[in-house]
Chain A
Amino acid sequence: AQSVAQPEDQVNVAEGNPLTVKCTYSVSGNPYLFWYVQYPNRGLQFLLKYITGDNLVKGSYGFEAEFNKSQTSFHLKKPSALVSDSALYFCAVSAVNTDKLIFGTGTRLQVFP
């Protein structure tokens, strides 16, 4: 069965420092991978996706993610964190032969001034 794991409940980083939010996945076949961000009392906003091709995917608001097939990981990264990046981040995989998304439990990112 397909699954996504986000091993960190919370990540703390100082403004201006690089950030990484970790995600690993388990899926049969080639994965479609996504990152979403959620602000309080709001829905999820799409950040980026990996379908095929380059392992480094660039997305919205300066975020990027690195796909690593051998480690079955899809970590979210940003070179320089902003206080406004503080939010809840979800990694998701699109299940094989269906378009439903399977989400991780989320990682709360806290960026301190």
Chain B
Amino acid sequence: DTGVSQDPRHKITKRGQNVTFRCDPISEHNRLYWYRQTLGQGPEFLTYFQNEAQLEKSRLLSDRFSAERPKGSFSTLEIQRTEQGDSAMYLCASSSTGGNQPQHFGDGTRLSIL
């Protein structure tokens, strides 16, 4: 069990640029989640996958955001035309199937928009 891995750990970009983050889940986990955490707040749900199927998207996920998990393994989260308000920690988690299974989190990607 090597844990959930996220890359990059930090991303600094100018407003209006596109960014892409990657998440590698725990290998035997078929569920993968994305959350966003801003300073002083708890994580907020963005979207989740079971295998390659995207099962739910939050209203927080505007049309500038897109997530994929093409082969049911790693996932990418892309933000187009970044805005100041996108500055946050983006957390990925994975779990086995079922709401009673704990989600295991990566260390996140911290995005800073200049």
**Interface residues, chain A, CB within 8 Å of chain B?**
4, 32, 34, 36, 41-46, 49, 51, 90, 92, 94-95, 98-106
| Contact residues in B for A102 (Cβ distance below 8 Å) | 45
- How many chain B residues touch A (CB < 8 A): the figure is 28
| Contact residues in A for B75 (Cβ distance below 8 Å) | none
CB-contact partner of A99 in B40, B44, B48, under 8 A: B48
Contact at B107–A101, with CB atoms within 8 Å?
no
CA distance A44 to B41 in the complex (A): 13
Contact at A94–B99, with CB atoms within 8 Å?
yes
CA distance A103 to B41 in the complex (A): 9
Q: How far is the CB of A60 from chain B (nearest CB, A)?
A: 11
CA distance A93 to B42 in the complex (A): 12
CB-contact partner of A103 in B31, B42, B102, under 8 A: B42
| Contact residues in B for A36 (Cβ distance below 8 Å) | 105
Asked if A32 meets B99 with Cβ closer than 8 Å, knowing A45-B105, A46-B104, A100-B33, the reply is: yes
Interface centre among A46, A101, A106 (most CB of B within 10 A): A101
Contact at A44–B56, with CB atoms within 8 Å?
no
B103 within 8 A of A: yes
Write the chain A residue with the least CB distance to B43: A103
B108 within 8 A of A: yes
CA distance A62 to B43 in the complex (A): 25
CA distance A4 to B43 in the complex (A): 12
